[in-house]
């Protein structure tokens, strides 16, 4: 084993540790320098905002006030897609409805 290889190896270890610490410190510093929350809150209070401007204007997710109650809530974009119901996947759901109707 050549000693200069071990010196290079120790430099690699130090470089990785320094990279990690610098990355963590950078993210931490950026977060401190980050958001002017006070000014954003002031706008929200002044204009009575009910949604942030992440989604383009006109989309129902941006303006939940646009949702009309006559539209079935199943289609509301505010609700996530429900998980699939295994009964609906395995069995035909229409059968009991038909028999109920016949009765």
Site string for other proteins, 11-40 (x = CB under 8 A): -xxx-xx-xx-xxx-xxx-xxx-xxxx-xx
Cα-atom radius of gyration of the chain, to the nearest Å? 29
Instruction: Provide the 10 A C-beta neighbour count for residue 67.
Output: 15
Binds other proteins (CB under 8 A): choice among 43, 85, 93, 98: 43
Q: Does residue 98 interact with other proteins by CB under 8 A?
A: no
Which ranges in the chain belong to alpha helices (H)?
3-32, 37-47, 86-90, 94-102
Q: Does residue 86 interact with other proteins by CB under 8 A?
A: no
d(CA 78, CA 11) in angstroms, rounded, equals 53
In whole angstroms, the minimum distance from the beta carbon of 43 to other proteins comes to 4
| Size of interface with other proteins, in residues (CB under 8 A) | 63
In whole angstroms, the minimum distance from the beta carbon of 75 to other proteins comes to 14
- State the residue for tokens 């002017």: 36
- Cβ atoms 62, 51 nearer than 8 A: yes
Binding site for other proteins (CB under 8 A): 1, 3, 5-10, 12-14, 16-17, 19-20, 22-24, 26-28, 30-32, 34-37, 39-58, 61-70, 78-80, 82-83
């Amino acid at each position: 084993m050549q000693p200069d290889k071990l010196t290079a190896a120790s430099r690699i270890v130090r470089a990785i540790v320094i990279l990690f610490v610098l990355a963590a410190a950078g993210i931490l510093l950026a977060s401190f320098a980050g958001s002017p929350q006070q000014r954003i809150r002031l706008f929200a209070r002044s204009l009575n905002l009910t949604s942030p401007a992440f989604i383009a204007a006109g989309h129902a997710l941006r303006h939940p006030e646009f949702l009309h109650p006559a539209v079935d809530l199943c289609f509301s974009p505010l609700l996530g897609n429900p998980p699939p119901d295994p009964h609906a996947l395995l069995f035909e759901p229409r059968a009991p409805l038909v028999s109920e109707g016949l009765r």
